[in-house]
A and B are shown apart, each in its own frame.
Chain A
Amino acid sequence: MGAGIPLSYYLVLGTLLFSIGLWGALTRTNAIRILMCIELMLNAVNLNLVALNRYLDPGSVQGQIFGLFIIAIAAAEAAVGIGIVLMVVRRRGEVDINKIRLMRG
C-alpha cells in the first residue's frame, strides 16, 4: 500500500494546499476565515512532514512526532485566535479586519 506514488506528488499537493491557504489568508477580510486558512497552511506542512518521513526515513517516526507537535500548537493557536476574534466581536461587533485598525501608525 502506498507504493507506486512518487514522493513528489505529495510534496506538490502540500505546496498547492499551502498556496491556497496563503492566498486566502492574504485576500479575505473575515477574521475567522483567515484563521481557517491558517489551519490549511498548517495542514499542508504536516502533509509534507509525514510524506518525507515515510519516504526518506521510514524506519523512524520523527516526522510524525513533529507533525503531532504542530497539531497541538495549531490547536492552541486556533483557540486563542478565536478567543481574540470573539473579544473583538464583543467590543466592535465586527469581524471585518479592514474595520479593525487599532494599530494604525
Chain B
Amino acid sequence: MSGAAIAFAILAGIVLLGAWRVVTSEQITHSALFLGLTFVGMAGLFVLLQAPTFALLHVLVYVGAVLTVVVFAIMLSDPEELRGPSPDRPLGERLRHRLLSPYYGWVPVVVAAALAVVVLLTLARAGLPAMPQGEPVADDLQAIGTEMFTRYSVPFEIASAALLAALIGAIGLTRRDAREAGARRPGARAADRERDRERQAQARVAAGEEVGR
C-alpha cells in the first residue's frame, strides 16, 4: 500500500466517522465538534488531491467561520436542548421506532439509499478514467487567483453580492425590534444607568446622609 493509499484510508475514516457522529450524537455540542473533525478530514483529502490552496480556504471558512457560528448558535439556544433528549426509552423501542416510523425511520433511509444508488450508478456508467489524466497545476494559488479575477470575475462579484445580502439579512433578522426592547437610541442605556444612579444618590441624600460616595 502506498503512502497515499494509507493516507486516504485514514482520512476517509475520519471523515465518515465524523459525519456519522454529527448525525447521531445525542448531545448537540458533540455534533458540532464532530463536524469540525469532518471538516479537518476533508481538508486533508483536498491536500491529498493536490489542491492545497483549496484545503486552506476550506479550513479557514468552514472551521473558522461556519463552525464558530454553529457553536454560537448552540450556545444561544435552549440550554435544555443542549443536554440532548433523555435516553429513557429502551433500545428495543427506539429501534422499532426507527424502523417503522415513516418520517424518522425507513423512508429517509430509502430515499438516501436510493439517491446514493442512483448517483453511483450514474458515475459507474459514465466511464470515467481511474487515474489522473495529467499533472496538476504547479502553482494552484496563482491559478485560482488568475481564474477568479479574469474568467470568473462576474460570478465572483455576484457571490460577493450574495454574501453581502446574507450579511445584511442575518443582521436584519436578528436585530431586536423596537417593541421588544423598548425604543432606545444608541447610548441610551448608558444614559439610563446614569440617570438611575443619580436618582438613587439623591434618594440617599434625601433619606439621610450616609457616607457620600
Q: Is B77 an interface residue (CB 8 A)?
A: yes
Question: How many interface residues does chain A have, given as a range?
Answer: 35 or more
Bound CA–CA A62/B42 (angstroms): 19
Please state if A36 and B54 are interface contacts (CB–CB under 8 Å): no
- Which partner residue on chain A sits nearest B34 by CB separation? A36
Question: How many interface residues does chain B have, given as a range?
Answer: 35 or more
Please state if B81 and A30 are interface contacts (CB–CB under 8 Å): yes
Interface string of A83-99 (1 = CB under 8 A from B): 11111010001111000
- Which partner residue on chain A sits nearest B8 by CB separation? A5
Q: Which A residues lie within 8 Å of B28 (CB)?
A: 30, 32-33
Interface class of chain A by DSSP: helix
Would you list which residues of chain A between 45 and 82 have a CB under 8 Å from chain B?
Answer: 46-47, 50-62, 64-65, 67-69, 71-80, 82
Mark B residues whose CB is within 8 Å of A: 2-5, 8, 12, 15-16, 19-20, 22-24, 28, 31-32, 35, 38-39, 42, 45-46, 48-51, 53-54, 57-58, 61-62, 65-66, 69-70, 72-74, 76-78, 81, 103-104, 107-109, 111-113, 115-116, 119-120, 123, 128-137, 140, 143-144, 147-148, 152, 155, 159, 162-163, 165-167, 169-171, 173-174
